[in-house]
């Protein structure tokens, strides 16, 4: 899973997030690499997650990285990262409604906290929530367990509060920077680690036609497709979705959610 996202916007977001909640002191360093599309994981010591007391209402889920769809072999999972954004998320929601498609929104904690109305709209429309950390630090896998815990658990709280009590069902590491520790921690909180099979490359704004061609050529790699609704101008993303969603239906695919 490549680290494909620009750092400028996320750097500013990280600085803002540090003003919201203090980062715990570093205790140990991880060098585990990001997961691949096939879900291979580095072998490393996995300590017990240093998390808040376990909520008895939370059912643990598998800690391996999910790529499959709950709709089976002809299912497709549309995933939307980095929002919610007041300009682009409403437009994405309208488009998904028009096309009759449900998606999984991987939200950054500070964005969810700033725009709780949009989080509630996502939930009300029948989409699912995913934890994308507090500040989208793509170097998560090089940081201490305390830092990883703060990023994951604080984002879980922010998203849950913004939604009015609906918990995120998945955890996606920024840029794919999973570690064995972060996967186990997320799973212990009921959030299945979530990967992707097809990167639309919309963050690079290569043009809608290029994004569509990428999805068409790579959908055979697996069902989980990555798009974004924040981080700058997402007009190309909207144009690509308008074309690719009907095409996927014409090819006999149905839209579902990642397995949990």
What is the tens place of the pLDDT at every residue in 89-135?
Answer: 999 999 999 999 999 999 999 999 999 999 999 999 999 999 999 99
- Specify the pLDDT at position 58: 83
Q: Using the predicted structure, report yes or no on whether residue 9 has a pLDDT greater than 50.
A: no
Is there a catalytic annotation at residue 136? Answer: no
Q: Can you tell me which residue has the tokens 């990883």? A: 148
The residue behind tokens 């697996």 is 222
Distance CA 71, CA 258 (A): 9
What is the torsional sign of CA 87, 90, 95, 101?
positive
In a domain, 42, yes or no: no
Query: What is the reported pLDDT for 20?
Result: 41
Q: Which residues contact 125 (CB under 8 A, 6 or more apart)?
A: 93, 96, 97, 102
Is 0.85 topped by the overall pTM?
Answer: no
pLDDT bucket at 83, cuts 50 / 70 / 90 = very high
Q: Of 115, 132, 136, 228, which residue is the catalytic one?
A: 228
What pLDDT is stored for residue 193 in this prediction? 98
User: How many domains does the chain fold into?
Assistant: 1
DSSP-derived letter for residue 134 is S
Which pLDDT does position 90 carry in this prediction?
A: 98
CATH number of the domain encompassing residue 131: 3.20.20.370
Give domain status of residue 243, yes or no: yes
C-alpha–C-alpha distance, residues 197 and 81, integer Å? 14
Give, in order, the Cα–Cα distances in Å from 132 to each of 12, 109, 177. Answer: 16, 7, 11
Between CA 71 and CA 42 the distance in angstroms is 29
pLDDT of residue 81: 98
Contacts of 48 (CB under 8 A, 6+ apart): 184
Catalytic residue of the set 81, 82, 85, 199: 81
More confident residue, 4 or 209: 209
Q: Is 45 inside a domain boundary?
A: no
Task: State the sign of the Cα–Cα–Cα–Cα dihedral 200, 94, 230, 123.
Answer: negative
Residue 63 lies in a domain: yes
Q: What is the C-alpha to C-alpha distance for residues 170 and 167, in angstroms, rounded to an integer?
A: 9
* Partner residues linked to 226 by β-bridges: 79, 199
Examine the pLDDT at 18 and tell me if it is beyond 70: no
Percent of the chain with pLDDT over 70: 78
Is 216 among the domain residues?
Answer: yes
pLDDT of residue 51: 42
Asked if the structure places residue 187 within a domain, the reply is: yes
pLDDT score of 15: 42
Give the domain range for residue 204.
8-17+59-67+76-255
Where would I find the H helices in 103-252?
109-114, 116-124, 145-163, 180-188, 208-218, 235-250
Active site annotation includes 127 = no
pLDDT tens column, 123-151: 999 999 999 999 999 999 999 999 999 99
Task: Identify whether 203 is part of a domain.
Answer: yes
Is there a domain that residue 120 lies in?
Answer: yes
**DSSP line for 6-54:** -SHHHHHHHHHHHTTSPPPPP-----PPPPPTT--------PPP--SPP
Predicted confidence (pLDDT) per residue in 22-80, tens digit: 333 333 333 333 333 333 343 334 444 444 444 557 889 999 999 999 999 999 999 99
What are the start-end ranges of the E strands in the chain?
75-81, 103-107, 128-131, 170-171, 192-193, 198-199, 224-228, 254-255
Write out the two tokens for 75. Answer: 């299912």
The answer to whether 4 and 201 are in contact (CB under 8 A) is yes
């Amino acid at each position: 899973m490549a680290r494909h996202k620009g750092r400028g916007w996320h750097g500013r977001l990280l600085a803002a997030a540090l003003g919201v909640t203090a980062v715990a002191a570093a205790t140990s360093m991880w060098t585990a690499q990001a997961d691949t599309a096939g879900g291979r994981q580095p072998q490393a010591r996995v300590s017990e997650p240093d998390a808040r007391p376990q909520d008895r209402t939370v059912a643990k889920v598998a800690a391996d990285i999910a790529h499959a769809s709950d709709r089976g072999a002809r299912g497709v999972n549309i995933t939307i990262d980095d929002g919610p954004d007041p300009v682009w998320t409403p437009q994405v929601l309208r488009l998904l409604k028009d096309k009759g498609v449900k998606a999984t929104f991987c939200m950054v904690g500070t964005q969810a906290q700033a725009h709780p109305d949009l989080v509630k709209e996502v939930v009300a429309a029948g989409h699912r929530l995913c934890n994308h950390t507090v500040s989208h630090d793509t170097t998560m896998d090089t940081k201490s367990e305390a830092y990883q815990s703060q990023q994951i658990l604080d984002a879980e709280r922010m998203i849950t509060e913004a939604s009015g009590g609906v918990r995120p069902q998945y955890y996606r590491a920024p840029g794919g920077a999973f570690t064995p520790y972060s996967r186990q921690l997320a799973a212990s909180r009921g959030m299945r680690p979530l990967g992707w099979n097809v990167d639309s490359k919309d963050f690079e704004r290569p043009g809608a036609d290029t994004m569509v061609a990428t999805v068409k050529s790579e959908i055979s790699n697996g069902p989980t497709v990555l798009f974004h609704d924040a981080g700058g101008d997402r007009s190309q993303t909207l144009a690509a979705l308008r074309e690719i969603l009907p095409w996927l239906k014409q090819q006999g695919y149905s839209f579902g959610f990642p397995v949990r």
